[in-house]
Amino acid sequence: MVEAFEGPIALTECSQDHNVCDITDTCNLSDGWGGINQLIMQMMGRISLEDVRNPQIVDKLYRQLLDDGPRIQLVNL
């Protein structure tokens, strides 16, 4: 739904189809951002316009997200 209104979703320049970041080749994080961006797109793909209008459905989707699979662990680099 978001892509229909806003266009392609990318959290960072290195997770876009046309990467224009100057430091991608030396960045230790660029590979991970693509995966994180993909996970967020999958989550957002589950949400319809009707869901957005109904807070109970959004809450249910949020709880499902918390129950799904492995968590991302934040670490200091």
**pTM greater than 0.85 (yes/no):** no
Residue 77 lies in a domain: no
Q: How confident is the model at residue 70 (pLDDT cuts 50, 70, 90)?
A: low
Residue 74 lies in a domain: no
Question: What rounded mean pLDDT belongs to the chain?
Answer: 77
- Which residue, 32, 26, 46, 34, is CA-closest to 9? 34
* 3-29 confidence digits (pLDDT tens): 777 887 787 877 777 777 888 888 888
Residue 7 lies in a domain: yes
Is a pLDDT exceeding 80 seen at residue 56?
A: yes
Residue 27 lies in a domain: yes
Q: Which residue has the higher pLDDT, 16 or 77?
A: 16
The token pair at 53 is 């209008």
Q: What is the DSSP string of 8-28?
A: ---SSGGGSSS---TTGGG-S
Q: What domain count does the chain have? A: 1
What residues make up the domain containing 34?
2-67
Separation between Cα atoms, residue 72 and residue 54, nearest integer Å: 28
Residue 75 lies in a domain: no
Enumerate residues 6+ apart whose C-beta is below 8 A from 27: 14, 21
